[in-house]
Amino acid sequence: MDKPGSTMAQQIAEAVIAFEKERTGHAPRSVTVVLSGETLVITLHGALSPAEKALAKNPAGAAQLQEFHRQLFTNASESLRQEIKRITGVDVREATAEIEPTTGTVVGVFTSGTTVQVYLLAHSIPAEAWSGNADGEPS
């Protein structure tokens, strides 16, 4: 249920938390939602269970965990797609998820056929230091 006055980003974050609880049995530590043009990037911080963190400590376990989460997302993301459409009024054309097993971060990207590169910084940048968004064109 949407809280009065909450932004689309907040509503999507709440939907993602509910989706993760249903899908995995636990909620991420925090969720970040960013929209740039037609690309919606959702980052789940602290999304792995203690057992998953233990599994991710070796390369074979990390690869297994990545594949497990990709398949889980692929097979279960339709309800989240529908919730994003309900909140934004826009269809989701494509969706993918990637997990960084050493940090426990899961990134979900909902795009329109665009290649997306996601870089997770070691810490946040103060809003006053950020110079804004740029739409770069090839030179």
Task: Walk along the chain (139 residues) in steps of 10 and give the mean pLDDT of each run.
Answer: 78 93 88 85 86 88 87 87 92 84 73 58 68 48
What pLDDT score was predicted for residue 139? 45
pLDDT score for 49: 86
Separation of alpha carbons 96 and 127, rounded Å = 28
Two tokens, residue 121: 């910084």
pLDDT of res. 62: 86
What is the distance between the alpha carbons of residues 49 and 20, in angstroms, rounded to a whole number? 11
The pLDDT score that the predictor gives to residue 121 is 63
Q: In the chain, what are the domain boundaries?
A: 13-116
Token pair of 136, please? 């770069």
84: closest CA among 41, 28, 24?
Answer: 41
